[in-house]
Amino acid sequence: MRSKLTPVILFVAVLLLVAFPFVGEKFYIQLIAKVMIMAIFAMSLDLLVGYTGLVSLGHAAFFGLAGYVLAKAAPQYAAANFWTTLPLALGACAVFALFTGFLVLRTSGIYFIMVTLAFSQMLFFVFHDTPFGGGSDGIYIYAKPEIKIGETALLDLEDFKVLYWFTLGLMTLVYLFLHRVLDSNFGRALIGIKTNEHRLRALGFPTFRYKLASYMLSGTLAGLAGYLAALQFGFVNPEILSWHISGSVLMMVILGGMGSLHGAALGAFVFILLQEMLSNQSWFGPVAKHWQLAMGVFIIAVALLLPHGLVGLGSTLKNRRKRAGGHG
Amino acid sequence: MADPVLRVENLTKLFGGLAAVNDVSLDLHLGQVHAVIGPNGAGKSTLTNLISGELTPTSGSIRYLAHGEGEFDLAGLSSDRISRLGIGRSFQKTNIFLPFTAFENCRLAAQSRQQRAWRIFRGASRYADVNAIAEHSLQSAGLAERGQVNAAMLSHGEQRQLEIAMCLATQPRILLMDEPLAGMGPQESLRIVALIRQLAAEHAILLIEHDMDAVFAVAHCLTVMVNGEVIESGTPQAVRASAHVQQAYLGEAHGDTHD
Ligand SMILES: Nc1ncnc2c1ncn2[C@@H]1O[C@H](COP(=O)(O)OP(=O)(O)OP(=O)(O)O)[C@@H](O)[C@H]1O
Ligand SMILES: [Mg+2]
């Protein structure tokens, strides 16, 4: 699935993304920034689903938790400190992952899906139904966090272009980070767990610890995405913890191609841009209201025709041609 | 004789009402091959799974004299813990990582001995010591030329060899080999028999095998199981001579059983 061209294509894609704010309109620059945040979210989930073999339907818990931590930690009308709120948000996610991980990782398969969903629903109700969480109205974050060293501001996140590049930088870093991690001893063991956990244990790997570490890393990175999302939207409400979000990000991963980092990122791009396009009234008129229908058809088509997702398009076509031609 | 490195005593495993292993006792010594034979369903694989931690015994003990670490009762320990204590096993039903290359299968096995999981920024292929162990075990099992082939593309016999290579790559002191020769060609069988004999010098080996020629070629000690119970145990010569065994198993089985 990974051809020699892949790094080149990815490099060019990043260059294009760097250049985009020089030509794009504000609306689209903000849209792509949102897409890149979701790409971080999707890559974090892919670590769990595509590389460790654990299908979670509760990943929004981390995404939302980090967002709420920022909202609660920020002073009401002044800017929050980036250097304290980000570690706080990520730390909260890591701790939440550690505690829930001990329970959810005792299950597997369909039960894992159920238990992760249950935990995220519990968190949803904590923020939805207690005074602590601000109820269904949510909480506003009036000012974007400040990134300062001493008294000098490094970046002004209020500037939508700066925020865009900042997000792009983080997305690239997360990709490179995960890429390295997955090629390390730790990453190889995770892939081994996905492929044949029973055998890996027989070889002497304490697989539970590996899965817990993977779950915590995945949750923490999802927290990074959630922090950025809350920062960008300037607002959190219980919706960001809901199973809709968990379902969407899972679809992005499957759409793009499980077990491929750039596949997960691609899935986020295609999913959100398609959603934006199909629901565009000036393009599709009254039909646009029913964009979910068209989206559903698209997802079913990919699931049926592309077993390895969009990144597997090339190899799927090649295999098909090989089979049709009988040689190759 | 020196003290055994592994002593199984009165081991029993019930599956519902079925006693798959029934009051079995046996010893493993360093430098020796202890073969276990018996008809299908005798409980040989269940015995292996009890020692390796895949299954928990209903009763009985498995005492292991670990190298420099004192004595352990393995009953109830997890399979990964038992493996790390130096007890390796190969599976009767090939159990490998199909999407990985043969080398990566062995490299991963060798990696299990290194406590370096926290070095998350160092490429897994860059540990020369681990790579060397993986190469060496491939070579021992006769797969030196096949390292870069995906395990799924190996022939059935080669997959059986890989199964053994992976076990070797964990560098165990005790090897539990569950029908290592089943499904292997005659050439490879000879190689593995020679390998087992060579390994026996420094390891303790539990060999489960239907191929009687191989068993009699390498075993120092032979145990016969039928319906979960040990019906005879002793030197291969003594067991061969036993009328009881002749009647229960060897007579009809010699030379022609394979599944
Ligand atoms: N997990 C299990 N649950 C229930 N019964 C089992 C289980 N595993 C094995 N058995 C039964 O226990 C008995 C012993 O099986 P086992 O696989 O140990 O035999 P074996 O001597 O290895 O046979 P073979 O030569 O065919 O490999 C059989 O009757 C089998 O059906
Ligand atoms: Mg068996």
Residue B256 has pLDDT above 70, yes or no: no
Report the nearest-CA residue for atom 6 of ligand 1.
B15
pLDDT confidence tier of residue B38, bands split at 50, 70 and 90 = very high
Beta carbons of B112 and A207 less than 8 Å apart: no
pLDDT confidence tier of residue B252, bands split at 50, 70 and 90 = low
Residue B192: which H helix or E strand, with range?
Answer: helix B186-200
Which residues on B lie below 8 Å from A188 (Cβ)? Answer: 104, 107-108, 111, 124
- Ligand 1 nearest atom to the CA of residue B210, by list position: 25
Digit-by-digit pLDDT tens for chain A (328 residues) are: 457 888 999 999 999 999 999 999 999 999 999 999 999 999 999 999 999 999 999 999 999 999 999 999 988 888 888 999 999 999 999 999 999 999 999 998 899 999 999 999 999 998 998 877 778 888 888 888 988 888 888 888 889 999 999 999 999 999 999 999 999 999 999 999 999 999 999 999 999 999 999 999 999 999 999 999 999 999 999 999 999 999 999 999 999 999 999 999 999 999 999 999 888 888 887 878 888 888 889 988 988 998 889 998 878 888 888 777 654 3
- The predicted pLDDT at position A2 comes to 59
- The predicted pLDDT at position B258 comes to 43
Chain B residues with at least one Cβ partner in A under 8 Å: 52, 54, 78-81, 83-84, 89, 91, 95-100, 104, 107-109, 111-114, 116-125, 127, 166, 170
* B170: closest CA of chain A, how far (Å): 7
Report the nearest-CA residue for atom 5 of ligand 1.
B15
d(CA B129, CA A204): 18
More confident residue, B69 or B63: B63
Q: Which residues pair with A139 in a beta bridge?
A: A236
- The predicted pLDDT at position A326 comes to 52
Which residues on A lie below 8 Å from B99 (Cβ)? Answer: 195
At A289, list the tokens: 């209201």
d(CA A215, CA A209): 10
Ligand 1 centroid–CA A109 distance in Å is: 26
d(CA B163, CA B141): 9
At A311, list the tokens: 């990144």
- Per-residue pLDDT tens over the stretch B188-235: 899 999 999 999 999 999 999 999 999 999 999 999 999 999 999 999
Counting runs of H as helices and runs of E as strands, what totals does chain B give?
Answer: 10, 10
- The predicted pLDDT at position A98 comes to 97
Pocket of ligand 1 (CB under 6 A): B 15, 18, 20, 38, 40-46, 92
Tell me what the pLDDT averaged over chain B comes to: 91
Nearest CA in chain B to A192: B97
| Residues A83, A147 contacting (CB under 8 angstroms) | yes
Ligand 2 centroid–CA B109 distance in Å is: 23
Beta carbons of B84 and A204 less than 8 Å apart: yes
Residue A170 CB neighbours (<10 A): 17
More confident residue, A172 or B258: A172
Which residues on A lie below 8 Å from B107 (Cβ)? Answer: 188
- The predicted pLDDT at position B257 comes to 43
Backbone angles phi, psi at B211, to 5 degrees: -80, 105
Beta carbons of A204 and B170 less than 8 Å apart: yes
Q: Which fold has domain B1-86+172-259?
A: Rossmann fold (3.40.50)
Mean pLDDT for B32-49 is: 96
Q: Name which of A184, A199, A210 is nearest B124 (Cβ-Cβ).
A: A184
| Residues B42, B77 contacting (CB under 8 angstroms) | no
Interface probe with B: pick from A51, A180, A181, A203, most Cβ of B within 10 Å: A203
For a mutational test of ligand 1's pocket, the pick from B11, B12, B15, B207, i.e. the residue with the most ligand atoms closer than 8 A to its C-beta, is B15
d(CA A211, CA B117): 12
According to CATH, where is 3.40.50.300 located in chain B? 1-86+172-259
A259–chain B Cβ distance below 8 A for any pair: no
pLDDT confidence tier of residue B251, bands split at 50, 70 and 90 = low
Provide the whole-model pTM. 0.93
Beta carbons of B170 and A192 less than 8 Å apart: no
At B91, list the tokens: 């599976």
Which residues on B lie below 8 Å from A180 (Cβ)? Answer: 120-121
* B158: closest CA of chain A, how far (Å): 18
Beta carbons of B97 and A196 less than 8 Å apart: yes
3-state secondary structure chain A: CCCCCHHHHHHHHHHHHHHHHHHCCHHHHHHHHHHHHHHHHHHHHHHHHCCCCCCCCCCHHHHHHHHHHHHHHCCCCCCCEHHHHHHHHHHHHHHHHHHHHHHHCCCCCHHHHHHHHHHHHHHHHHHHHCHHHCHHHCEECCCCCEEEECCEEEECCCCHHHHHHHHHHHHHHHHHHHHHHHHEHHHHHHHHHHHHHHHHHHCCCCHHHHHHHHHHHHHHHHHHHHHHHHHHHCEECHHHHCHHHHHHHHHHHHHHCCCCHHHHHHHHHHHHHHHHHHCCHHHHHHHHHHHHHHHHHHHHHHHHHCCCCHHHHHHHHHHHHHHHHCCC
Which residues on B lie below 8 Å from A206 (Cβ)? Answer: 78, 80-81
* B235: closest CA of chain A, how far (Å): 31
At B206, list the tokens: 């539990």
- Ligand 1 nearest atom to the CA of residue B259, by list position: 26
Which residues on A lie below 8 Å from B116 (Cβ)? Answer: 185
- The predicted pLDDT at position A303 comes to 86
Beta carbons of B124 and A206 less than 8 Å apart: no
Residue B162: which H helix or E strand, with range?
Answer: helix B156-169
Q: Max CA-CA distance within chain A?
A: 69
| Residues B37, B50 contacting (CB under 8 angstroms) | no
Residue B101 has pLDDT above 90, yes or no: yes
Nearest CA in chain B to A181: B120
Ligand 2 centroid–CA B41 distance in Å is: 7
Task: Go through the domains of chain A in sequence order and give each one's CATH number.
Answer: 2-327 (1.10.3470)
Beta carbons of B116 and A185 less than 8 Å apart: yes
A223–chain B Cβ distance below 8 A for any pair: no
d(CA B14, CA B158): 34
For a mutational test of ligand 1's pocket, the pick from B24, B44, B47, B212, i.e. the residue with the most ligand atoms closer than 8 A to its C-beta, is B44
- The predicted pLDDT at position A321 comes to 81
| Residues B122, A184 contacting (CB under 8 angstroms) | yes
